[in-house]
């Protein structure tokens, strides 16, 4: 009887063990499959990352050190006193990608000048592997000095340079750029020729189908100054995420008939106009234009509650960099420039008491009869770099030019205590 019971019990136990083993096998197989799937995912992720890194490396390798030769392929008038120059590399090799908003630095040998002259011009179009475009406004003498010579380089571009001419150009640089991949909506605010980096940003958004929402304000005096009219309109067509608002501050009689078509508002691009188009302050703001416009908007946006880090500005040089726009000078140590310190120009053998009213070392040197070469005068082109022999400097604004340790950009630097520089 007992034997009769033991046999089926044994069979049942064997069966249970078999089922258990079976379940364990299935679980193990599932785990293996999952692990395989995971390792495939990891492999795919790694493959993607390696691909991206290689692409980045290739792009970086395409950038160049120093100056590269470019040929002017096309010269196009965009508006009154505003000309675009399409530049192709003389070596016909592909160009590195730039970040929309960056600029090119030019070194020009202008007849009658004993040294080359350096100036920066923003790239004014979206990314292309075969050419860059810059757009130059002819600069007139200041209103209160009508007899002063007109802008040297902008006049040279307009009057002397033509298709086929060759230029020395540095690789794209600059910290004023927009990330097309980001999702936060952005407000672009341009005044006059300050439209150039912002047009490049908007075109990049359109051409890469990034989908990032863009509200583009463009202020000019009237229809004669309205550059890139068709290009800007085309941007909005077929890209529901890009909206354009053009304001004429002094429309001509001819313009008046085209309100609503060529332009949308009479007046300047001011905070009230901007607020009228925005639901909140939660945008990134990119501003490039005349000093007065940038100063006012910067203050008004901050007062409205826009976070300081969301307001990004590009100054086109000394004429558009005013003291009010610049942050208080602060050095690496966080201290501000001392008014009582001395600056020693070691090569010239001169020690001078720092003048608290001086804006920067470059002007201070000039006021003391010491000449330092300069270019953009905005901390971007690197022409005015001088070695520091002793002491520290403080910067009034962020600089675009890359700096070696122990050097300073004299056009935007002030001494932070006693200083010795190699000038």
Ligand X SMILES: Cc1cc2nc3c(=O)[nH]c(=O)nc-3n(C[C@H](O)[C@H](O)[C@H](O)COP(=O)(O)OP(=O)(O)OC[C@H]3O[C@@H](n4cnc5c(N)ncnc54)[C@H](O)[C@@H]3O)c2cc1C
**Residue numbers at the binding site for ligand X (CB under 6 A):** 103, 119-122, 135-137, 139, 141-142, 145, 148-154, 174, 193, 196, 314, 316-317, 376, 378, 380
- The whole-angstrom separation of Cα 203 and Cα 228 is 12
Shortest distance, position 394 Cβ to ligand X, whole Å: 20
Shortest distance, position 317 Cβ to ligand X, whole Å: 4
Q: Read out DSSP for 215-226? A: EEEEEESSGGG-
* Closest residue to ligand X, based on beta-carbon distance: 151
Extended beta strands in 178-314, E state:
186-191, 214-220, 242-248, 265-266, 284-288, 311-314
The contacts of residue 209 (CB under 8 Å, 6+ apart) are none
The contacts of residue 314 (CB under 8 Å, 6+ apart) are 101, 122, 174, 176, 194, 197, 286, 287, 288
Which residue carries 């009887």 as its tokens?
1
Shortest distance, position 36 Cβ to ligand X, whole Å: 53
Tokens of 1: 């009887």
Please identify, using beta-carbon distances, which residue of 6 and 148 lies nearer to ligand X: 148
Shortest distance, position 103 Cβ to ligand X, whole Å: 4
**Which of 287, 313, 289, 316 is CA-nearest to residue 375?**
316
Tokens of 287: 């501003």
Shortest distance, position 209 Cβ to ligand X, whole Å: 26
Please identify, using beta-carbon distances, which residue of 153 and 235 lies nearer to ligand X: 153
Shortest distance, position 174 Cβ to ligand X, whole Å: 6
Q: How many Å separate Cα 404 from the centre of its chain?
A: 21
């Amino acid at each position: 009887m007992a034997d009769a019971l033991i046999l089926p019990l044994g069979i049942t136990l064997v069966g249970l063990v078999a089922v258990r083993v079976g379940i364990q096998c299935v679980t193990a197989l599932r785990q293996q499959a999952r692990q395989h799937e995971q390792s495939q995912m990891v492999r795919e992720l790694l493959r993607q990352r390696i691909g991206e890194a290689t692409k980045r490396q290739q792009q970086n390798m395409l950038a160049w050190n120093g100056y590269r030769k470019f040929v002017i392929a096309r010269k196009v008038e965009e508006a009154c006193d505003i000309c675009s120059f399409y530049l192709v590399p003389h070596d016909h090799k592909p160009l590195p990608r730039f970040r929309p908003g960056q600029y090119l630095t030019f070194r020009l040998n202008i007849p009658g000048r004993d040294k080359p002259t350096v100036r920066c011009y923003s790239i004014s179009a979206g990314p292309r592997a075969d050419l860059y475009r810059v757009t130059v406004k002819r600069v007139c003498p200041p209103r209160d000095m009508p007899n002063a010579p007109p802008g040297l380089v902008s006049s040279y571009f307009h009057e002397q340079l033509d298709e086929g001419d060759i230029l020395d150009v540095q690789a794209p640089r600059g910290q004023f750029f927009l990330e097309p991949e980001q999702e936060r909506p952005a407000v672009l605010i341009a005044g006059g020729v300050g439209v150039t980096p912002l047009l490049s940003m908007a075109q990049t958004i359109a051409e890469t189908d990034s989908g990032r929402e863009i509200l583009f304000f463009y202020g000019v005096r009237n229809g004669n100054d309205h550059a890139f009219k068709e290009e800007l309109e085309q941007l909005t067509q077929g890209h529901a995420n890009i909206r354009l608002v053009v304001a004429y501050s002094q429309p001509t009689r001819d313009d008046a008939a085209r309100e609503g078509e060529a332009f949308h508002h009479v007046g300047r691009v001011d905070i009230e106009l901007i607020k009228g188009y925005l639901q909140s302050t939660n945008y990134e703001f990119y501003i490039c234009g005349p000093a007065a416009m940038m100063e006012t908007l910067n203050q008004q946006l901050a007062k409205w509650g826009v976070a300081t880090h969301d307001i990004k500005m590009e100054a086109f040089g000394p004429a558009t960099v005013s003291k009010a726009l610049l942050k208080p000078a602060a050095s690496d140590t966080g201290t501000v420039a001392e008014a009582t310190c001395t600056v020693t120009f070691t090569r010239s053998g001169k020690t001078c008491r720092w003048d608290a009213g001086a804006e920067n070392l470059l002007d201070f040197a000039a006021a003391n009869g010491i000449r330092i070469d300069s270019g953009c005068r905005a901390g971007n082109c690197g022409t005015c770099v001088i070695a520091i022999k002793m002491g520290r400097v403080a910067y009034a604004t962020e600089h675009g030019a890359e700096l070696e340790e122990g050097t300073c950009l004299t056009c935007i630097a002030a001494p932070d205590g006693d200083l010795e520089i190699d000038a």
